[in-house]
Each structure stands twice: as structure tokens, then as C-alpha cells.
Chain A
Amino acid sequence: MSIDIWLFTAIVFFILTICAVLRIIPGPTLNDRLIAINVAVTLACAGSLALTVAAGSLLIALIAGLLACIVFAITIRCSQTHKRSPV
């Protein structure tokens, strides 16, 4: 029995991503949640790169890159909006 190291890496990265996503819930502030989202997206991108080789499809990396762009843009926008709003 051989282990596909790429698939194993992808699975572990997605488990770590779930852990980072679970960190979003306790917060307590918006910035804590945004940091957790950044880490989760970074780990998900690493997992998608490994999954691309394991599954043999370049479409996975393309979709992951587009989703990462969208999520980072939302994060930056949320952070700037939160910065401008009076405390």
C-alpha cells in the first residue's frame, strides 16, 4: 500500500483550514476574525495546490486562486470599513 503524499498533504491542509475556520467563531472582535480568515485562506490555497497534483486537474488551482482573490478583497474592504467607522 502506497500513500499518495500529495493527497495526504491536501487532506491535512484542509483539516488545518477547518481548524482556522473554527477560530473565526469565538472572535471576539472583527479583526480577530479577519486574521483567522486570512490564515484559513492561505492554508486552503496550499491544500488546493497539493490537491491539483493529486487529482490531476489544473482547474482546482484556478478556482482556488479566484476564491482567494475574492476573500482577500472582502477582508481588506471589511477592515477598512471597520477602521473608518467610529468606535
Chain B
Amino acid sequence: MHSFRYYDTMLPDSQEVTGMSALILDVILYLLLLAALGFGAISVIGLLLFPDIRSRSFTGLRAGILAITLVTVAGMSYGIYEWITSGSIQFQYLLYAIGSIMMLILVLVLNRIATDIVCRSSVPVFVPSSDEEEKE
């Protein structure tokens, strides 16, 4: 298995970047990814525990979107950092950053639409008519 992280995809003349900035990036990535795992776990726990469909969909949607957002932010930070430090000639890092943003937007929009339709079809929203409002 090879990884972007192990620099075996770098060009022969490029230098491996080490030092404080790489350490800070690693710490940020660890924090973001662990937070993403936490929100993912909350999403599944909410899906398994909550009784009604609205609370389940609310927890699953929000926590799941937060999890994928944190992974995307981590991927973007990593991709842009590697792209800049590799001399802006390795476009796979930039492509990864752009692709992760596009996937986040896609999942966010489609998940929102799908969950909204499912919730409305399962529990119709009651809108009081004007006569009932006048009686009250």
C-alpha cells in the first residue's frame, strides 16, 4: 500500500517537508479526524437508540454531515499543504482537495433533500386552516 503521506508519489527533485509545520499539520489532522469519528459514532448511536423517525433522521443527518465535513476539512488541509510544499506541480493533491469539497456539497444537498422528503412522507405536517384558527 502506498500513501500520499509517505512521499513516494513525489517527483525525484522535490524535498520531503519535515519540521514544525508538518508537526502542526499532523496534530490538526489527528484532532479533525478523531472529532469526525466521534460525530460518526453519535450519528449511528442516534440512529439505533432514538424511537421516532424525526429525531433519528435529525441526529443522523446533522452528526453525519458534521463528520463528513470534518473529514473534508482535514483532507483539504492535507491536500493544500502538500500541494504547496511540493512546489505546486503535483496536481493530485489539489484535485483531492477540490474533489473532497465537491463530494461534501453533493452529499450535503442530496442528503438534505432525501431526508426532508422521507420525513414529510412519514409524518405529514399539520397546517391548521383559517377556520380553525378563528375558532381558537
Contact = CB atoms under 8 A, between A and B. Distances in A.
Given A23-B47, A69-B106, A42 B3 contact: no
Contact of A76 (B40, B78, B117): B117
A13 B37 contact: yes
Given A53-B96, A61-B103, A38 B71 contact: no
Contact of A31 (B3, B113, B122): B122
B76 to A, nearest CB: 10
A20 B47 contact: yes
A17 to B, nearest CB: 9
The SS class assigned to the B binding surface is helix
B118 A34 contact: yes
Contacts of A79: 114, 117-118, 121
B23 interface: no
Interface residues of B, number: 50
B48 A12 contact: no
A56 B3 contact: yes
Given A31-B53, A35-B115, A54-B1, A46 B36 contact: yes
B9 interface: yes
Interface string B86-111: 00000010011001101100110011
A43 B64 contact: yes
10 contacts: A19-B48, A31-B119, A42-B107, A43-B67, A50-B75, A54-B1, A64-B103, A68-B106, A68-B110, A69-B110
Interface of B: 1-5, 9, 29-30, 33, 36-37, 40-41, 43-44, 47-48, 53, 56-57, 60-61, 64-65, 67-68, 71-72, 75, 78, 92, 95-96, 99-100, 102-103, 106-107, 110-111, 113-115, 117-122
